[in-house]
Amino acid sequence: MGARVMIFGRNADALEDTLKDFRDAQLEDRVHGITADVSRKEDIEKVFREVDSQLDGLDILVNNASIGHNGVMDGNYEEWAYAVNINILGYIACTHEAVKRMRKKGGGHIVNIGSMSAHTKDEGSSVYVATKSGIRGFSEALRKEINKDGIKVTLIEPGAVGTDMQPSTPDEQRDKEEDMKMLKAEDVASSVFYALTQPRRCDVVMIQLRPHLQII
């Protein structure tokens, strides 16, 4: 829709696959991508140095990085810390940098991708639920903090989505999508687009997006 987009991720091969899709669609001049890990302070600093060099200011931030985790008795301190750093601290740090830039422009929009887990609080996933519940609380308080600056905040909470976070194989995911038991990534993207394209007077505060046959 004419936006200039910058993306980043930990996995260089996955990043290159995504950038190749843009090249194949003849959109490579609109998209820039780098490898970075949102759990690392120095990588977040690198990302926003790149933002400043590649973009003419910053209008939109989509916080979407996430890894799965199970219950409190699974894993160890280092694994819990890594999940928290990616799933919630990374959102806070990126938002901090984005708001500094958006205030200079007089407005913007932050979209946080959460999870239905903040609502369902499934047994056996307490660490993951803690991070996603944190995103919900962060989003609600953040909107009150920066609304006066003309910066919108939207929280989107999807159900199961066919991504690398799922324990099922890609073929099994495609079957679940066909059976309406799992969303596609494009469905979440459509919700992001909807929230971003509403009139300035209209804040889309939260969208809960569930597969039709994932009864929660």
70 by Cβ neighbours in 10 Å (0-12 / 13-18 / 19+) ranks as: middle
Q: Identify which of 187, 72, 189, 74 has the alpha carbon closest to the alpha carbon of residue 129.
A: 72
- Asked if residue 8 is part of any domain, the answer here is no
Residue 60 has pLDDT above 80, yes or no: yes
Angstrom distance (rounded) from CA 146 to CA 11: 32
Tens digit of pLDDT for each residue in 147-204? Answer: 999 999 999 998 877 677 666 777 777 877 777 787 888 999 999 999 999 999 999 9
- Asked if residue 119 is part of any domain, the answer here is yes
- Asked if residue 65 is part of any domain, the answer here is yes
164 by Cβ neighbours in 10 Å (0-12 / 13-18 / 19+) ranks as: exposed
Tens digit of pLDDT for each residue in 76-86? Answer: 999 888 889 99
35 beta partners:
9
- Asked if residue 161 is part of any domain, the answer here is yes
- Asked if residue 197 is part of any domain, the answer here is yes
Domain of 103 in residue numbering reads as 58-209
pTM for this prediction: 0.90
Domains contained in the chain, number: 1
pLDDT at 162: 64
Angstrom distance (rounded) from CA 174 to CA 194: 24
pLDDT at 2: 84
The dihedral of CA 103, 39, 115, 179: what is its sign?
Answer: positive
How large is the average pLDDT for residues 193-216? 91
Active-site position among 77, 82, 91, 128: 128
- Asked if residue 148 is part of any domain, the answer here is yes
Kindly report the CATH number assigned to the domain that includes residue 142.
3.40.50.720
pLDDT at 127: 85
Angstrom distance (rounded) from CA 155 to CA 207: 6
- Asked if residue 216 is part of any domain, the answer here is no
Residue 124 has pLDDT above 80, yes or no: no
Residue 128: how many other CB atoms lie within 10 Å? 22
Q: Identify which of 134, 191, 195, 186 has the alpha carbon closest to the alpha carbon of residue 163.
A: 186
Distance of CA 149 to the CA centre of its chain: 22
Active site residue 194: no
Average pLDDT value over all residues in the chain? 89
- Asked if residue 158 is part of any domain, the answer here is yes
